[in-house]
Structure 1
Amino acid sequence: MPQEFYFEKCSTHPGQLIKFYCSECKKEACKKCKDNGHVNCRDIAHLPTLASDIQKSDELINFNKNMDQLSKDIKDTEKLLNAKSEVIKKQEENATDACIEHSNKLIATYKQQHQDLIDEFDKKMEETIARLKKERLELLQKVSEKERQFEEKVRKAETNIKEEVVKTNTNFKKLKFEHLNLVGNLKALTVDLEQAQKLGQNCELLIKLKLVKQMCKQIQVTTGQIQHSYIQQYKLLVSDIPPKVKSLENQKRFFSFDKVHASGVERRLTFIFDINHEFDCITSLLVLSEHTLLASDYDRCSLVIFSLEKSNAKYIKEIRFKTQPCGMTKVSDHKVAVTFPNKEKIRLITFSEEIKVLDTTEIPGHGFCFGIAHSNNYLVVSYYKSFTGSIKILNMLGKIVKSFNKDDNDQNLFPIPDFLTVSPDNTMIYVSDWSSNTVTCLTFDGKVKAIYKDDQLKRPQQLAVDEYESVYVCGCHSNNVHQLSHDLTKVKILLDNSHGILRPTSIAYCRKHKRLFVRMDYSSKIKVFNVSLE
């Protein structure tokens, strides 16, 4: 006979004791529940029998071992929550203070303008004092009512904009509340679980253990969401204060609230370390994985492989070819596509987990192919010859699917389109042109959406895009790296001489660790930076 008993009664059948546990439904059951509600369940067991060995089970032992790590993760997450909450609170306070300050200025200006009218009227009172006293009283009443209406109008606009400010980052606030609620419930359940374990209440312990494990999974989900959550940035713009009363009365909008796209938020870079190497003509960089960086060396006809560690990196291997490689793109976790323009070929190279070449497939390049990017199982390739460039989209067998080289006005799009990349959502192509000193954004149908040209960007080369759609482009002859928004609006010059940047040509971004790799001409170093939002 079983030696364990569970004296909780069924909520559906109060006269029945809970005697069973269904592993498929993850629910306890009485005899009637078992017979009626779990007819098709194959994994339903007698609860005391199932719980008899719970104290020595691997499930309980492993759970106890993992609780310390989960507690540490919870504490770290709470710190992150507090930090992000402080940023949001500060934003709200600043926006609220700005609203109040501008509202007061509007009202004060409006009142002052009316006071000027009153003062001017007072000067005429000496000539017609009797008549003007009555008129002045009427004017005061009229002005007072207008001021009341105007103040009500401004305060309403102020209230509306405050509500918009508070609604911003609502999702993060909800996530914060959900996470804190889960953590609170977990703490309470953990106490119950420990109590049941101490008292030897194995059935109670089994039930609580199942609940705690489910809640732990939910906390891990919210923890990941918090770590990758984006705090919406915004700008609060106030209207100009016109000099005339009538203009103020007719003004319909006193505030504007503009959300800033994540790609337009300024990035902050922190230098981590240099990757030292002995390769003179690295053409492009590619992050193959969080542990591997590839570089194409044009002069040495090779691919160079670097191993990336937490605090440094080192050269580990060189793969030689008979002709010069140029552009590279990641096709899958262990597969890359490399252009060989002088041979008018593209090679698909598959690596093992130890970064050994397992397979190489050659497909047609259809001309002097240079830059390359992978998108939705297609290859986007840039070409140029005699200062006439084009973009072609190939399937993975090398067949041309689309080709475009002219804009809507039938003008050539690019003289020398060296490098290109695609947006994270695979809707846009970004192309740098060495000759025209431009970066062009276009759709996969060849429609130009935006062109970036700046006096501080000269001879642009390789580009990179982060997960928030910010575009990074090397300015080789301007000795800098520009950060652009998704629509090619200039955000800032991210790197320049003050960061040790001289003739940058190659750039790559690691989304896993949020790192930027920058290689420069005539330098034996690849600089590595941490990237964070301002």
Structure 2
Amino acid sequence: MAEKKEKLTSHGISSLTQDSDEIKEMYCEECERDNGEYATAVAFCVDCVEYKCKTCREYHRRHFKTHKIQDSDSMPQDFYFEKCSTHPQQLIKFYCSECSKLACQDCKDNAHGQCGDVYHLPTVASGIQKSDDFKDLQHDLDELFVDIIDTEKLLEAKSEVVEKQEEKATEICKEHSNKLIKALKQQHQIVIDAFDKKMEMTIARLKKERLELVQVLSEKERKFENKITKAETDIKEEVVSTNREFKELKSEHLNLVGNFKALTADLEQAQKLGKKCVLFIKYKLIKQLCENLHRNIEQIHQANIQHYKIKISETQAKELSLDHETSFFTFENVHASAVERKVVFNFDISGQFDIISSLLVLSEHTLLILDWKKCNLVIYKLEKTQAICMDEIKFDTNPWDITKVSDCKVAITFLNEKMIILLKFSEDMKVLDITKIPGKGRCTGIAYKNNYFAVSYWGTGIVKILSMSGEVVKTFDKDDYGQKLFIDPCYLTVSPDNTMIYVSDCEKYGVICLTFDGKLKAVYKDDHLNLPYQLAVDEYGSVYACGVESDNVHQLSSDLTKVKILIDKSHGLDQPRCVAYCQNTKRLFVGMRNKIRVFNMSL
């Protein structure tokens, strides 16, 4: 075969060209089978499904007068020369649609004798290029290649995190190991130096003792180095084990992509050269590979990198403690909610807002904004770098907070009217239905979970669980010791697993976490979080609390441990009142009095 040249097309599939290619002619199957001789085929018997040379054709016409014979001008020209693996003397001529297998004449007569859809291979392959299924495959290949490019970028980003963690863990272990070994040697040198002073008085007697002591200490050093080296090795193995699943997923992806590129190249070559039988077989192979590759890409996108840290022991650098020390390093998993996030400013949403009181990401394409002063709900369509106002819904009174009930339904609290309303939207975000629910008081914050609402109440120190009809199911106001849980609960949200309620208390300047049974789990207070308002959580359980008077947004772990101040004045914040998160686009929306800043987030 001529040398092949490969280049990347605009669709990502390899385009193959070749300077020349061997043109094969069909031979007489009867001569090859019976005499082991090669003779050029000039005819084809439709009934026997066999190619014949000139001599065999004349013999065949004489003895099988009813058989239909096609001459060289009309006989099938799409030759497939592969032999059957079961019957090596037979050419593969048929394809069984019921079994999805290739077959020779013997296979057709025996193994597929009961099958109804056994077709001559050139016949079934003749229309493959124009079939809808093949066109769909080509379309899927184009889309899949785009997914591959995006996945390669994702792999590169995640691999960088993995490699940095491994490098940092190795550095910590090595540094601590060297420090301890050095400290031990220093202690031993002190002992040796002290012995040298005594040796001056009794040189002859002490020389032997000094040698023995050095040997003993050297052995201790050796054992200690072995022990700490083993500890270092163990922690490295745990690090590697933690990352193994991701690396195996990456390796599988690279293998699949390699096979994918090779098969798509073969497929395009067969299509270009008009080898329909080869094209048919490659098409069958690549369909299965595409399924595996789609599944692998989905697994990569769903894969979460396990975060961890290495803690070193507080071992005293003394011989006695080092001699008996058994644990030098500790491997600790870090919950994803405690991993620091990074933010990058994306764009601003500016409109005719007076006082924004709440934000809700209804979908990755839709943002809902409550304007307290204007008494309205503003619907925005989200794009990559901008937002477009779609509609405004006016109310008779001031709305406070909003929560998602379903993809087409939201609930809004009205403090002054002591009620909650349910809005149901159409696909184009037109209001289809409005349902009023008694709020059981001056309700402010609201969150939805499994047909129940968690609601906070203005100036009461109370959070209630309400049914969808407004009936009070539970009331939370005191902890297990009879102390008040809240002073003025303002906003609340629910953890991703629907087990925890997070409440911002604008009087306590803190965030409170409790279960749906009212059990207090954690409290967060910080000198740099003043007047906390709306809260948001991401898919990992991280909690985001905006401080109106501290001009910042705090990132907290799921147990309300401070991770970092994520956004502050340096990011352009001025009295942030609201915060919302979109899981699909990894965006954080921070609402100020009359403007919203949109940030892209990453681990």
TM-score by structure 2 length?
Answer: 0.81
Is 2:516 the partner of 1:444?
Answer: yes
| Equivalent-residue separation in structure 1 for 2:235 and 2:291 (angstroms) | 38
Tell me the matched-pair count: 523
Q: Which has the larger radius of gyration?
A: 2
| One-letter amino acid of the counterpart of residue 417, structure 1 | P
Structure 1 residues 33 and 83, CA, compared in 2 at 3 Å: closer, same or farther? farther
Select 1:474's aligned residue among 546, 549, 558: 546
Q: Percent identity?
A: 59
Within 1, Cα distance between the matches of 2:449 and 2:120?
A: 53
Q: Distance in 1 between matches of 2:451 and 2:112?
A: 51
**Cα offset, 1:14, TM superposition:** 7.3
| Cα deviations by residue, 1:485-519 (Å, 9 ceiling, x for unpaired) | 11111011111111121111111111111111111
Gaps of 5+ in 1: none
Shift of 1:217: 3.1
Question: Once the 2 structures are TM-superposed, how far is the Cα of residue 287 of structure 1 from its aligned partner?
Answer: 0.8
8 Å contact from structure 2 (residues 359, 368) kept in 1: yes
Superposition RMSD in Å: 2.5
Q: Partner residue of 1:217?
A: 291
Rounded Cα–Cα distance in structure 2 between residues aligned with 1:421 and 1:436: 17
Counterpart for residue 21 of structure 2: none
Aligned 1:195-214 pairs, distance under 5 A = 195-214=269-288
Query: SS in structure 1 opposite 2:213?
Result: helix
Partner of 2:392: 318
Which residue in the other structure is 2:409 paired with? 335
What is the CA distance between 1:480 and its match in structure 2? 1.0
Distance 1:229 1:437 in 2: 37
Q: Report the secondary structure of 2:353's partner residue.
A: coil
| Secondary structure of the structure 1 residue equivalent to 2:481 | coil
Deviations 1:223-274 (A, max 9, x none): 3433453333322222345242101112221112222221111111111111
What is the aligned counterpart of 2:571 among 492, 499, 503? 499
Give the 3 Å change call, closer, same or farther, for CA 75–277 of structure 1 in structure 2: closer
**Inter-partner Cα distance in structure 1 for 2:127 and 2:326:** 74
Identify if the C-alpha distance between structure 1 residues 47 and 165 changes in structure 2 by more than 3 Å, giving closer, same or farther: farther
Task: Give the CA deviation at 1:334.
Answer: 1.2
Give 3-state SS (helix, strand or coil) of 2:440's partner. coil
Residues 531 and 492 of structure 1, relative CA distance in 2, 3 Å threshold: same
Matching residue of 1:265: 339
CA distance in 2 between counterparts of 1:33 and 1:330 reads 60
Change in 2 beyond 3 A, CA 1:335/1:10: farther
Does 2:510 match 1:510? no
From 366, 376, 392, the equivalent of 1:302 is 376
Residue of structure 2 in register with 1:426 after alignment:
498
Distance (Å, rounded) in 1 between the aligned partners of 2:181 and 2:501: 49
Per the alignment, residue 532 of structure 1 pairs with 602
1:10–1:18 contact (8 Å) kept in structure 2: no
Instruction: Check conservation: 1:22, 1:28, Cα contact below 8 A.
Output: no
| Alpha-carbon contact 1:6-1:19 (below 8 Å) kept | no
Residue 460 of structure 1, CA deviation? 0.6
Please give the alpha-carbon distance, in whole angstroms, between the structure 1 residues aligned to 2:111 and 2:454.
60
How is 1:367-378 mapped onto 2 (pairs within 5 angstroms)? Answer: 367-378=441-452
CA distance in 2, matches of 1:342, 1:459: 21
- C-alpha distance in structure 2 between counterparts of 1:290 and 1:89, whole Å: 31
Cα deviation digits, residues 370-399 of structure 1 (max 9, x gap): 2111222322222244x422232x333333
Task: Tell me what 1:381 maps to.
Answer: 455
Task: Tell me the equivalent position of 2:229.
Answer: 155
CA distance, structure 1, for counterparts of residue 591 and residue 572 of structure 2: 11
2:536 alignment counterpart: 464
TM-score scaled to structure 1, two decimals? 0.91
- 8 Å contact 1:519–1:526 — kept in the other structure? yes
| Residue identity matched to 1:119 | D
Which residue type is aligned with residue 592 of structure 2?
Answer: M
Q: Which one is further off, 338-347 or 281-290?
A: 338-347
Partner residue of 1:80?
A: 154
**Conserved in 2, the CA contact under 8 Å of 1:9 and 1:18?**
no
SS in 2 for 1:504: coil
* Deviating more after overlay: 361-370 vs 66-75: 66-75
CA distance, structure 2, for counterparts of residue 93 and residue 308 of structure 1: 39
Structure-2 change in CA distance of 1:477 and 1:245 (3 Å): same
**Which residue type is aligned with residue 119 of structure 2?**
H
Give the CA deviation at 1:74.
2.3
